[in-house]
Amino acid sequence: MPILAIDLGTSNVKAAVVRRDGTLLGTGRGSIETILTDDGGAEQDAERVWQTVLAAAEEALAPLGNRQEVRGIACASQYSSIVPVGKDGRPTANMVVWMDKRGAPARLAKLPGGRRMKPNLIQMGRWVQIHGIPPLDSGADSLAHMRWLKLARPEVYERTATFLEPMDYITMRLSGRPVTNRCSSFLMLLTDNRRPDPVYHPTLVKWSGLDAEKLPQLVPVDEPLGPVLPEIAKRLGLASNTLVFPAINDTQAGGVGAAAFAGDHAGISIGTTGVCVTHVDFKRTDIRNSLVSMPSPIPGRYFVMAEAGIGGGAIEYFLERLVFASDSFGDHSLAEQFTRLERAIAPIDPGSGGVLFLPWLTGSVTPAEDGRVRGGFLNMSLQTTREHLGRAVLEGVAFNLRWVQERVAQFAKRDISRVKFYGGGALSSAWAQIFADVLQLPVEQLREPEYTASRGLALLGFHRLGELALEEIEASIPVAAVYEPRREFAGRYDQMFAQFVRAFKKNRDIFHALNVGS
C-alpha cells in the first residue's frame, strides 16, 4: 500500500507513488514557468502551479491497478517563496519566488513604512538567537516577500487571509487546511526554534510589521492533517480516507531521501540550485559562512541548511542560452542537450584546459551570501573550445559545492565520509565522477535521483504510520553506482579550487560596481 509524494521545484513538479521498500510504482512530472520582471521580481502563477501538480499526480497514479490502496499524500517544495491566499483558499496574486529581490531591506526602505522594517543590530542578534536566521540583505527570504506585498501591493495584502509557503499551499489545496509547521515555515523567520513545539515568537512578529492573523496556524509536523478533500479524492481516484501529511521543504525531504539525518555522510543535490545537507543535534547559526541548522522532521535533530545557489540552472543556462540557443544568430536548438553535452566533454581532460567557471548567476549564498556577485568564465584562450566550457561549468558547480561542503563539515564538527548524490544533475555519470574527483570523496549516485525528495517524503510517511523504523530508511534508498575519487587528479583540482575561491574574493568589488542597485 503506497504513498503519493509530490515534489514541487522551481522549474518543475515531480510526483511519485512509492512503496515502503522505496520502489517507485509510478511517476509524473510537469514544467513550471517563472515570470521575471525588470525590477528584480520573480513570480509564478499559483493556480497554474496547482493544476500542474494535479496533472503530475494523475500521471504518477495512472499505472496503479487500485488507487484506493494509496495510504497518504505527502508534499515538499522549494521554499523561501510565498503564496498569498484569500479566505476562499485561492491565490490573491502570483506566488513570489525565492529569486525575487524586491523585498530587500534597502528596497523596502524606499517604500512608505519600509524604513521601520529594517532591523537594527540588536534586533538582528535577537533574530539569530530566537530563530536562527535574521532577515537577509538580499531579500530572498519569505518574510521579505510578505513585507513587499504589504508595502508595494497593499490591495493584495488586504485581500490576503493567509500567507503560505508553496508546499503548504499545495497541502491546503489537498486538505482544505491553510496551516504550516516548524519545517515548512522556516524562512518566514518568525518561529522560536529553540523550542521543540512550534510557536511564533511575539517579538519577531512585532518586528516583522505583519499582521499576526495573516500568518498560518502552526501544527505539529508529525501528525496527519486529516483526509484529502472529497473533490480531490474523486478526481485522483483515491479513497476518501487517504491521509494528507504535513509538508516539509525540499531540503528536508531530500535529506530524508539521502538518509542524511543519521551517519557521517552528506547529501548533495543538484536541481536548479545546489544543496549540501547533513544533520546535527544542535541549533546553531554561523553568520560568517551563511550556515544554520534548521528544524528537522526527525525529532531531536536539525538539518544543516547549506544552499549553494545556482546548480543545475548553470548548465541549463549554458546549454539553452549559449550552445543550443534559438535567437537572432539562428536556431541551434536541440532536444537531447544533456546527452550531447556528455559526449562533447568526454575527451576533455579534468581541469578543462585551465578554464574556471564562476557559477553565481543569481548571486552567491553559502559560504558567503552576496546577491551582487555574478558568474563568468576565467582564463579562456584561443585554444578554448565549447567542449572545454561545458566541462568547466560542471567543474565550477562542483568547486562551489566543495567550498560549501568544507564549511558544512566544520559546522557539524565531523569529517564527511561519503556523499549521496541526487537531484536531476545526478542523472549525469560524468558529473558524479567530477564530484568524486573535486571533493576527493566516494560519491554514491542514487537511483532515480530526481525523485529522491519524493522517496524521502514517502519513507517519512511510512515512518509516521509506524510501518518503518528510522534505522530502516537507508536500506530503502537504492544506489545506482559508486564513483571513487581518482587520486591522480587531486593535485590539479586542489590548485584550481584554491583559485576558484580566490576568484570570488578578488572579483567581488568588480561585481558590486557593475551591479549597483541589483
Q: State how far the Cα of 326 lies from the Cα of 335, in Å rounded to an integer.
A: 12
Please indicate, yes or no, if residue 213 is contained in any of the structural domains.
Answer: yes
Q: Is residue 157 part of a domain?
A: yes
Q: CATH number of the domain that 116 lies in?
A: 3.30.420.40
**pLDDT tens per residue across span 162-178:** 999 999 999 999 999 99
Instruction: Tell whether 242 is covered by a domain.
Output: yes
Distance CA 188, CA 146 (A): 9
CB 250 within 8 A of CB 76: yes
How many whole angstroms separate alpha carbon 317 and alpha carbon 322? 7
Q: Is residue 400 predicted with pLDDT exceeding 80?
A: yes
**Is 300 inside a domain boundary?**
no
Q: How far is CA 468 from CA 261, 459, 478, in A?
A: 15, 7, 16
* Rounded CA separation 351/11 (Å): 30
What is residue 231's predicted lDDT score, i.e. its pLDDT?
Answer: 97
Across residues 2-31, what is the average pLDDT?
96
Beta strands in 228-282 (DSSP E): 243-244, 248-249, 266-270, 273-277, 279-280
pLDDT of residue 518: 61
Give the 3-state secondary structure of residue 309: strand
pTM, full prediction = 0.90
Sign of torsion over alpha carbons 14, 101, 316, 389: negative
Instruction: Yes or no: say if 174 and 73 are a contact pair by the CB < 8 Å rule.
Output: yes
Q: Taking a C-beta distance cutoff of 8 angstroms, is the pair 2, 71 a contact?
A: yes
Percent of the chain with pLDDT over 90: 88
pLDDT in tens, 305-316: 898 989 999 999
DSSP 58-112: HHHHTT-S-GGG--EEEEEE--S-BEEE-TTSSBSSPEEPTT--TT-HHHHTTST
pLDDT-above-70 percentage for the chain: 100
* Average pLDDT over all residues of the chain: 95
Work out the average pLDDT over 185-199. 92
CA 401/CA 63 separation, integer angstroms? 37
Say how many domains are in the chain: 1
Over residues 25-41, the mean pLDDT reads 95
- Domain region containing 234: 3-246
Amino acid at 8: L
Q: What's the pLDDT tens digit per position in 347-361?
A: 999 999 999 999 999
429 assigned to some structural domain: no
What is residue 422's DSSP assignment? E
Out of 37-51, 71-85, 157-171, 293-307, which region has the weakest mean confidence (pLDDT)?
Answer: 293-307
The per-residue b/e assignment along 330-368, b for 16 or more CB within 10 angstroms, e otherwise, is eeeeeeeebeebbebbeebebbbbbbbbbbbebbbbbbb
Gyration radius from the chain CA atoms? 22
Number of residues that this document lists for the chain? 518
Mean pLDDT of 237-253: 96
Residue 198 confidence class, pLDDT cut points 50, 70, 90: confident
DSSP letter (8 states) at residue 182: T
Phi, psi (rounded to 5 degrees) for 234: -65, -45
207 in a domain, yes or no?
A: yes
- Is 103 within the bounds of a domain? yes
Does residue 61 carry a pLDDT above 90?
A: yes
Distance from C-alpha of 214 to C-alpha of 191, rounded to nearest angstrom: 14
Nearest to 262 by CA among 475, 51, 511, 108: 475
Q: Are 285 and 132 in contact (CB under 8 A)?
A: yes
Mean pLDDT of 67-94: 96
Q: Which of 430, 446, 506 is nearest to 480 (CA)?
A: 446
User: Peptide bond preceding 297: is omega within 30 degrees of 0, i.e. cis?
Assistant: no
The x, y and z cell numbers of residue 383, run together, are 585554444
Query: Would you call 175 helix, strand, or coil by DSSP?
Result: helix
Residues 121, 114: Cα–Cα separation, whole Å: 17
Q: Give residue-wise pLDDT tens across range 271-285.
A: 888 999 999 999 999
Q: Looking at the DSSP assignment, which residues form a beta bridge with residue 82?
A: 96
pLDDT band at 517 (very low <50, low <70, confident <90, very high): low
Span 112-139, mean pLDDT? Answer: 90
User: Which is nearest to 254 in space by CA: 411, 64, 422?
Assistant: 422
> pLDDT band at residue 181, thresholds of 50, 70 and 90?
very high
Whether residue 427 is contained in a domain is answered as no
Residue 445 to residues 91, 369, 470, Cα–Cα distance (Å): 38, 28, 21
